[in-house]
């Protein structure tokens, strides 16, 4: 009672500590980090000072002395701190989706200790200090609403482009290289921290619409879009690419550049008058970058296309290189971030087909010999099962209701563990089952989208017992019968998949791969891998699924 209490951060929520001090009659709190962590602005229940570890331990030691006193005074806010920085909890790229051929994040926005309106369910207040996506997203949404009010004819993608190309760098990029060309910075901020006044007049925008994203889906999920539509989108008058790196975004990302690659973009003049701009590229050490054409002259509202070609010279393989593309002209500087990861071999992560054979292409990023190897094929282990509808649809490995589980013992030397469901082997039409794989209490793989075609895969698993959970998110009834498929793929060649012999590799060259199969049992689902090497070094693998 009547005391200022020193509290160590951790275990329970920060503001719950000051509430406990209030309930005990305390008049103030000093909260300290141990170990060092962020210093947070919170609405506390008593006057509170939040300090770092060293200061906190010193205060705690002083508080233990005879006659120690303390006072918390009203402070004056001093606006002299450098900003912005990336919050410690902020997600960072690269993104695994689309093979790294999209840059994420797109932009940064204020999201640390933001004072804003909140639901009264949060401590009964109408305003509070919150951090995270719950703050940065409404910042961007609000800016987008203002930009669309200012420019009613702009599409959402034009708005996104304007926010990206006018972004500014955060301050934690590190050198070398120069911060804006450092992939570490780019994977923190994307195109940069939003600058709304500049976004109101960006000069050029990278616009895209329904057909662009339909073409993107054609390349990402074969069979999802009608093949005839995909063919039509790639021909005149659309001439759209299905390669994710060609998505008309205000950023460029290539997750697996084998030697060389050219990407396509188009820009629209939104300056209100004629505009001539010239291209320049910074960064991209060890990669020759050429923009064609290097100058664009656009009438008001006109759209023109250009390409950016990348050729690896000395850039390290398997490591991202960063840079920036600028279009400069008049009063405008239109900036787009670039991240490229050169690789020795660009091969699909997975191919699927029938016993009649599978054909695909790989691209080589070196000169020499490309060798192929086979793992498997191995047949699926199947188990008939039933899962009930989960009443709250929230999966937890500790809750048995609405979940089916089975243990799988994985031996040493396993190359792939895969387990999951297929809609063809689920009794109730329209179900949505999800699959999770745990090693002990650790989630190591999952497959969870809006259907029951769910295959969770773990590469090079540690020898251990794994638990596979099938969650009844929506069983289209009280429960549904289904078949659980699982595979343990080792490194041995089972002799039932014939891979090509050695092929000649050239920089940027395309090598066709034709797989044939023998001795497969009809109606059985098989799994295998094709391995690649240059005679000395392993270059990657492709999963092979045969039904």
**pLDDT of 174 over the 80 cut:** no
Q: CA 145 → CA 136, 191, 248, 249, 263, distances in Å?
A: 14, 20, 22, 20, 31
| Predicted confidence band of residue 128 (pLDDT cuts 50, 70, 90) | confident
Interval 477-486: pLDDT, tens: 999 999 999 9
Please check whether residue 457 is in contact with residue 445, taking contact to mean a CB–CB distance below 8 angstroms. Answer: yes
Position with higher pLDDT, 112 vs 309: 309
The percentage of the chain sitting over the pLDDT mark of 70, rounded to a whole number, equals 99
Interval 35-50: pLDDT, tens: 998 888 888 999 999 9
Alpha helices (H) along 383-482: none
**pLDDT of 107 over the 90 cut:** yes
**105 cis-preceded (ω within 30 degrees of 0):** yes
| Predicted confidence band of residue 80 (pLDDT cuts 50, 70, 90) | confident
Closest CA to 433 of 466, 383, 479, 375: 479
Alpha-carbon distance of 283 to 132, in angstroms, equals 31
**pLDDT of 122 over the 80 cut:** no
Interval 410-424: pLDDT, tens: 999 999 999 999 999
What's the pLDDT at 124?
A: 80
Q: What is the pTM of this model?
A: 0.85
Backbone φ and ψ of 357, nearest 5°: 130, 160
Backbone φ and ψ of 356, nearest 5°: -70, -20
């Amino acid at each position: 009672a009547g005391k200022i209490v020193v509290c160590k951060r951790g275990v329970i929520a920060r503001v719950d500590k000051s509430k406990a001090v209030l309930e005990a009659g305390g008049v103030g709190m000093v909260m300290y980090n141990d170990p060092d962590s962020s210093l947070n602005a919170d609405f506390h229940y008593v006057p509170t000072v939040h300090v770092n570890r060293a200061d906190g331990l010193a205060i705690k030691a002083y508080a233990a002395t005879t006659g120690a006193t303390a006072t918390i005074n009203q402070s004056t806010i001093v606006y002299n701190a450098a900003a912005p920085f990336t919050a410690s909890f902020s997600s960072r790229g690269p993104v695994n989706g689309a093979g790294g051929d999209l840059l994420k994040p797109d932009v940064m926005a204020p999201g640390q200790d933001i004072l804003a309106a909140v639901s009264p369910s949060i401590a009964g207040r109408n305003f509070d200090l919150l951090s995270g996506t719950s703050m940065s997203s409404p910042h961007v949404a609000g800016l987008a609403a203002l930009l669309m009010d200012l420019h009613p004819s702009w599409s959402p993608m034009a708005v996104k482009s304007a926010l990206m190309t006018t972004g500014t760098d955060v301050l934690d990029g590190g050198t070398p290289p120069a911060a804006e060309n450092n992939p570490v910075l780019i994977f923190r901020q994307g195109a940069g921290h939003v600058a709304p006044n500049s976004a109101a007049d960006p000069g050029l925008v990278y616009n895209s619409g329904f057909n662009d994203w339909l073409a993107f889906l054609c390349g990402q999920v074969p069979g999802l879009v009608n093949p005839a539509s995909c063919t039509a989108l790639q021909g005149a008058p659309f001439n759209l690419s299905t390669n994710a790196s060609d998505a008309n975004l205000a950023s460029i990302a290539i997750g697996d550049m084998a030697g060389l690659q050219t990407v396509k973009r188009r820009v629209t003049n939104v300056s209100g008058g004629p505009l001539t701009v010239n291209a320049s590229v910074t960064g991209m050490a060890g990669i020759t970058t050429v923009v064609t054409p290097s100058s664009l002259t656009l009438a008001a509202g006109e759209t023109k296309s250009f390409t950016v070609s990348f050729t690896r010279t000395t850039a390290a393989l398997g490591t991202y290189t960063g840079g920036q593309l600028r279009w400069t002209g008049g009063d405008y500087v239109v900036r787009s971030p670039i991240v490229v990861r050169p690789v020795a071999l660009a091969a699909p992560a997975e191919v699927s087909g029938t016993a009649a054979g599978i054909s695909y292409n790989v691209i080589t990023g070196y000169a020499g010999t490309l060798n192929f190897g086979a793992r498997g094929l191995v047949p699926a282990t199947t188990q008939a099962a039933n899962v009930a509808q989960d009443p709250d649809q929230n999966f937890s490995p500790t809750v048995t209701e609405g979940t089916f589980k089975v243990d799988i013992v994985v031996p040493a030397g396993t190359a792939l563990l895969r387990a999951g469901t297929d809609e063809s082997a689920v009794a109730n039409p329209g179900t949505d089952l999800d699959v999770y794989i745990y090693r002990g209490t650790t989630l190591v793989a999952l497959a969870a989208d809006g259907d029951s075609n769910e295959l969770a895969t773990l590469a090079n698993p540690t020898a251990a017992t794994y638990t596979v959970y099938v969650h009844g998110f929506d069983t289209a009834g009280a429960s549904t019968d289904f078949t659980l498929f699982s595979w343990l793929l080792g490194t041995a060649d089972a002799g039932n998949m014939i891979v090509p012999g050695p092929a000649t590799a050239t920089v940027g060259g395309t090598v066709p791969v034709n797989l044939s199969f023998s001795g497969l049992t009809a109606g059985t689902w098989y799994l295998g891998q094709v391995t690649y090497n240059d005679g000395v070094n392993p270059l990657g693998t492709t999963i092979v699924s045969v039904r």
